[in-house]
Amino acid sequence: MNENLPLKALVIRDWLRDAAGQLANAGISSAKLDAEIILSHTLRQSRTYLHAHDDELVSVRHVEIADARLQLRLDRTPIAYIVGHKEFYGRLFKVNPATLIPRPESETIITILKELTAQTAINLSQSPPRLVDIGTGSGCLGITAKLEMPELEVTLVDVSRQALRVAETNAKELHAEVIMTRSDLLHSYPFVADYIVANLPYVDPEWERSPETNYEPALALFAADDGLALINKLLQQAPLHLKSGGYILLEADPRQHAAIIKTAKGHQFVLHEARDFIVTLRKAT
């Protein structure tokens, strides 16, 4: 792995040991896992395969490819961008630097949404109930919602054409029938929805954050006004696009929840619940 030395074939366990050591020395906490992901992606084998065949030889060509990917990770490129996908709610979603990388905390939106649809969807509208995913990025929220709750009519909205292309690819590969719309928040959304879900940019540029976020699109990550500019704008638009008794689920940092709830009260919304990184609001009837 030293670029000053000629490459040679290595057995799997040796490449993994050396790679994990380099990643750990660079301060990457997931060093062992990242090394396994890089090599399994390079060899097109599972991580289980690597452990079961750790004495198998890795060809010089594969060492070269794996080393190049390792260098990207050492430079703090997110592992999801290196391998081109990220798991979300048990499914793989393609990602690239035009899209935010799905976070595990966002899965809470799907959990809450399933609870809400089971309890209230039948009372909100005639079939089909509508859901709009604002700032969809890779499409992970809206597509997952459609696949988990097929009765929903789902629209994916983003201002970025590049992000919508990724979302469209994911929808096709995961066989999710969704509507794609390019719009600045709800500006061009033509319907009145039963549910709005949104993982909008909410990071204040002044916050301390990991180096990996430098590779994610600033458009999808940062917002002015303590990270609340776009969330506040959506709350202003939402009353015209959400039915009475409908719900809006917003992802935000817990330190922002109180300000969001206060702003929401001025736009016909009452707090349903605040859980982890998610604020759920209900439009007053």
pLDDT number for residue 8: 66
pLDDT number for residue 285: 81
Taking only the tens place, the pLDDT of each residue in 224-234 is 999 999 999 99
Which range has the worst mean pLDDT, 4-8, 31-35, 108-112? Answer: 4-8
pLDDT number for residue 39: 97
The full set of domains in the chain, from first to last, is 10-75 (1.10.8.10), 98-283 (3.40.50.150)
pLDDT number for residue 6: 54
Q: How many CB atoms lie within 10 A of CB 118?
A: 10
pLDDT number for residue 214: 87
Alpha helices in 105-227 (DSSP H): 107-124, 140-148, 161-173, 218-221, 224-227
Q: How far is it, in rounded angstroms, from Cα 19 to Cα 66?
A: 9
Q: Helix, strand, coil: what percent of the chain each, to 5?
A: 45, 20, 35
Per-residue pLDDT at 172 exceeds 60:
yes
- pTM summary value: 0.89
